[in-house]
Structure formats: C-alpha cells, structure tokens
C-alpha cells in the first residue's frame, strides 16, 4: 500500500489510532487523489478542502487527547441532498443551486460530531431521480472503470468517488436502488438500510415512504462502521425506529454456516446480460461452499413492482416538490406581472426534464378521478409485495439476486428512453417498496466492468447481511479490484 487514499476505512482507523499518520495527512492525501482524477470522474458538486483541513486538525486534537471514535479523522463524501450547515446542498438541481442549509441533517450532525472530515458533496441525478447521474443539472459523473460510461445513479458521485479512491467512504440515499445500483456499476459495496433505521431528518425528500440514507464503501466492514455512526432513533424523523443501538461491526463474524439463502427466479429477468448472470450464479455457488444452503424461491408479485414504484414515487415526489414555489427558498424568478406566473416560471426554469416528468406523473396519479385507479391500486399492490417477502422470509434467511441486470452503460445510451432507464431498477426497487434492507457486493466482471450481487434480508437484518457480504469478501478478491485510473 503506497498511498493513504488507497486505505479502507478500517485500515485508516488503525493507522490514525496508532499514530502512523495524522487526520490532516489522510485528508491531504485524499485531496491529492481528487486533484489527480476528479477532472475526469466528476464525482463532486462541491469540494470543501479548507473546511476539511480544519476538521482534520480538530480530529487530530481529539485523537491526541484520547477523545477519538470510530469515525474521527475519516474523510467522507456526502451526497448533495443531505443538508450540511453552511455548505451548499444543491440536489444537483438549478432549483437549489445557491441553497445553503442553516442546519445539518442528523446523519451529518452525527458524523461531524464524531470527527469525520467532509471532503465535499456528491453529484447525483437531480433530486435523486435517475439511474445514471446524467440527470444532474450540472454535469454527468463518469464511471472510473470506463470514463465513457455512467457510474449508475442516483448516488453516482458516492459510488464513483469511492471506486476512484477519492473518498474513503460516502453517504448516499436509496429510494429505488440509488445506493445499490451505482455501487454495483462501480464495483464497490453499498447498503440500503431498513426503512426507519437511519434518520431522514435533513435529507431533502424525493419519496418519503421509500427514501433511506446509507453508506457506500470499499467493503462490508467499512459500511458496518459507518452504519454504527449514522443509525439510530431520531425524534426529528417521525418514521425513525425507536430501537436500542445495534453494533453492526460486531455482527461480522465471518461465519455463515447453516444460513438459508433463497434465489428468486423472478430477479433473473429476461434481457439480463449473460455476464451478469454468470457472475451472480458463480457467487451463489461460492456462498454455498462457505456453508450456506441455497434453494429456489418465488416472489410472484415482482412483476408489478416497477409499475407500483412508478406510481408511488412520482406521487410522493409531486407532493414533496410542491414546496419549490420561488417564495420561501431556492431559485426564484420574479420578473413577471403576477405571482402565479412567477411560480410557473420558477418551476419551469428550476427543474430539469426528468423531475418535471415525475411531477406530472405523480400529479396525474393523485388527481381526483384517477386516484383510485392509480395511487390506491399501487398502495394495494405494495401490500402484496410486502406479503410476498414476508412469506419467503419464513422459509429462508436472505435472498441473493443480481443488483442490476446490466453493467455500466455508455453515457447517453439510455437518455432518450425513460422506460429503458426505469427498467434498470427492476431488481432494486421492490426492496424499497417493502422497506427491507439490502446491499450490493462486487462479485465479478462482465466485459471488464463490475457486476454486483444483491443480498436482501428481512426488516432489521443489516447485521446478518453485512456478515454474509463480509464472509463472501473474505473468500474472494472482487471488492479489492480497483480501476486503473
């Protein structure tokens, strides 16, 4: 290991604690790496170097005084829809281009209190709507494995920054796959926690019944350490689960003997790339050889999940995004004769095409006369999807599927066809509909591009999933592969 920016969180912790290097050394090293590659990767909307160096100095002071914790001095990237006090939080949208929050999201409040160092804010699809990072109003992020390809989305900046070794760990958010799918396409690890496990306070809302914040890291242990720091009850999020603290890192024992794994045939969809299928099937055999048992299971309502999601998510989005009226905060166009025109022009100019499409879909599904046929029906289907999972989890402990049916695709390839873009999330969005935890773990390559395996568990089973992922990592090298950028 020659450079500090190459370290995992776990290794960085050990080095900081033993005094082999300081938090300032580590932060400087990450910014050196950023200087080398960021003009090609473009994973950051905002870089916060001077702020980071101040935080790193404070971290060094805390460490020298014995006040350090697991995240003290660890450089992180934070997705640009997580509010950071005094630092622009744009949602990669013109609407919030100049928005500077006056308060911290709970997750960032927790991390910064523990001495984590903010490298900057991660690029994303505008308001987290997209699967490729091409919907950022500012610029697309590039996949470090092939700069002509997308990193996935919407947390493309998170996955690309970790894959390119710019950040030690990153925070993303996942409404229908936005942590797991980019993690898969960039060859890193991503965890979407159980709905309610991590506070959404200060997360700029897309679809509130689906949104959840989680880590993107270089391995399962790094995600576990980050989860320890961000999870937990928060009275400021009414959907937060009031549970005793869990030590996710302690769940990692490496032993998965006797674990029952279900393979839902419905997730091995038509049109999935053969290289993805081969990699995931080989990984399943690997898990079996580590002592897990494998059996086929069926989740018959899977076929309705995409349609259900594309009613519920846009409906919630149309309500959540009504607040951008040009009056209270954000972009405001005032050069019109009356208030209504000011509001219309503000929204016309402030939102990009995908966000407008979602608002229109949602407003339509919620409107009188259509509500029962669309929104209500989707909610009923949601219940069936949840029941499907509940039934299967009486039979098995976890499910193994591909994260994405395809590997990273060329920038521009799917932008003209929204439905093609939506289809990429077939394997990830049922999990949000059911509120379950799931993660993506690198499990091979197809045509030189990373493939991710998705591990899905019942509610609150993050510890088991992290252990499963870690056991797989101990037996393989895929998570260690790095792009030669």
Annotated catalytic residues are 79, 154, 178
Buried b (16+ CB within 10 A) or exposed e, 141-180: bbbbbbeebbbbbbbbbbbbbbbbbbbbbbbbbbbbbbbb
The DSSP line for 240-278 is --------TGGG--S--TT-EEEEEGGGS-TT--HHHHH
Number of residues that bind ligand GLN (CB under 6 A): 13
Alpha-carbon torsion 11, 12, 16, 19, what sign?
A: positive
131 binds ligand GLN (CB under 6 A): yes
Residues pairing with 295 in the sheet: 262
Cis status, amide bond into 154, omega within 30 of 0: yes
> Nearer Cβ to ligand GLN, position 12 or 162?
162
178 binds ligand GLN (CB under 6 A): yes
SS (H, E, C) 345-386: HHHHHHCCHHHHHHHHHHHHHHCCCCCHHHHHHHHHHHHHHH
Span 91-130, contacts to ligand GLN by CB under 6 A: 128-130
> Nearer Cβ to ligand GLN, position 136 or 175?
175
| Rounded least distance, CB 209 to ligand GLN, Å | 13
425 binds ligand GLN (CB under 6 A): yes
x/- track of binding to ligand GLN for residues 205-244 (CB under 6 A): -x--------------------------------------
378 binds ligand GLN (CB under 6 A): no
| Rounded least distance, CB 274 to ligand GLN, Å | 24
DSSP state for residue 204 in the 8-state scheme: P
199 binds ligand GLN (CB under 6 A): no
8 binds ligand GLN (CB under 6 A): no
> Nearer Cβ to ligand GLN, position 178 or 240?
178
> Nearer Cβ to ligand GLN, position 375 or 472?
375
Alpha-carbon torsion 229, 234, 239, 242, what sign?
A: positive
| Rounded least distance, CB 425 to ligand GLN, Å | 5
Q: How many Cβ atoms are within 10 Å of 394's Cβ, its own excluded? A: 7
330: left (phi over 0), alpha (psi -120 to 50) or beta: left
Choose, by CB under 6 A, the member of 176, 350, 442, 483 that binds ligand GLN.
176
DSSP state for residue 193 in the 8-state scheme: P
Q: Interacting stretch for ligand GLN, rule CB under 6 A, among 170-178, 193-201, 267-275, 284-292?
A: 170-178
> Nearer Cβ to ligand GLN, position 143 or 178?
178
Cβ(22)–Cβ(60) under 8 Å? yes
175 binds ligand GLN (CB under 6 A): yes
Span 309-328, contacts to ligand GLN by CB under 6 A: 313
Tokens encoding 72 = 């003290």
399 binds ligand GLN (CB under 6 A): no
| Rounded least distance, CB 17 to ligand GLN, Å | 35
Q: What whole-number distance in Å separates Cα of residue 429 and Cα of residue 424?
A: 10
What does the binding site for ligand GLN look like in residue numbers (CB under 6 A)?
128-131, 154, 174-178, 206, 313, 425
């Amino acid at each position: 290991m020659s450079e500090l920016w190459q370290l995992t969180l776990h290794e960085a912790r050990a080095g900081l604690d033993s005094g082999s290097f300081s938090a300032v050394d580590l932060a400087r090293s990450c910014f050196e790496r950023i200087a080398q590659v960021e003009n090609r990767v473009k994973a950051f909307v905002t870089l916060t170097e001077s702020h980071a160096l101040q935080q790193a100095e404070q971290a060094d002071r805390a460490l020298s005084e014995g006040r350090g914790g697991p995240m003290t001095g660890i450089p992180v990237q934070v997705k640009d829809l997580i509010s950071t006090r005094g630092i622009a939080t744009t949602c990669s949208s013109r609407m919030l281009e100049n928005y500077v929050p006056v308060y911290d999201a709970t997750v960032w409040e927790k991390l910064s209190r523990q001495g984590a160092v903010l490298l900057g804010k991660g690029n994303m699809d505008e308001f987290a709507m997209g699967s490729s990072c091409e919907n950022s109003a500012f610029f697309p992020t590039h996949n470090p494995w092939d700069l002509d390809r997308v990193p996935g989305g919407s947390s493309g900046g998170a996955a690309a920054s970790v894959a390119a070794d710019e950040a030690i760990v990153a925070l993303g958010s996942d409404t229908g796959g936005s942590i797991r799918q980019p993690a898969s396409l960039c060859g890193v690890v991503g965890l979407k926690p159980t709905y309610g496990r991590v506070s959404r306070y200060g997360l700029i809302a897309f679809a509130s019944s689906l949104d959840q914040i989680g880590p993107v890291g270089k391995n399962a242990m790094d995600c576990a350490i980050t989860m320890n720091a961000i999870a937990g009850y928060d009275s400021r999020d009414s959907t937060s689960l009031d549970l005793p603290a869990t030590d996710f890192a302690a769940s990692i024992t490496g032993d998965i003997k006797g674990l029952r794994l279900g393979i839902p045939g419905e997730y091995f969809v038509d049109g999935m790339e053969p290289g993805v299928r081969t990699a995931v099937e080989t990984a399943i055999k690997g898990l079996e050889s580590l002592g897990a048992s494998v059996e086929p299971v069926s989740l018959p309502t899977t076929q309705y999940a995409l349609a259900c999601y594309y009613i519920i998510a846009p409906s919630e989005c149309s309500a959540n995004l009504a607040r951008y009226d040009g009056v209270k905060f954000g972009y405001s166009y005032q050069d019109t004769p009356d208030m209504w025109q000011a509001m219309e022009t503000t929204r016309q100019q402030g939102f990009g095409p995908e966000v407008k499409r979602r608002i229109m879909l949602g407003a339509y599904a919620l409107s009188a006369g259509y509500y029962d046929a669309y929104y209500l029906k989707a909610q009923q289907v949601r219940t069936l999807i949840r029941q499907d999972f509940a039934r299967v989890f009486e039979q098995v402990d976890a499910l193994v599927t591909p994260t994405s049916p395809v590997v990273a695709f060329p920038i521009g390839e799917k932008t003209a066809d929204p439905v093609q873009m939506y289809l990429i999330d077939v394997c990830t969005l049922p999990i949000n509909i059911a509120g379950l935890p799931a993660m993506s773990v690198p499990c091979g390559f197809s045509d030189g591009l990373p493939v991710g395996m998705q591990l899905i568990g019942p509610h609150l089973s993050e510890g088991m999933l992290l252990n499963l992922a870690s056991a797989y990592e101990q037996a393989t090298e895929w998570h260690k592969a790095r792009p030669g950028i």
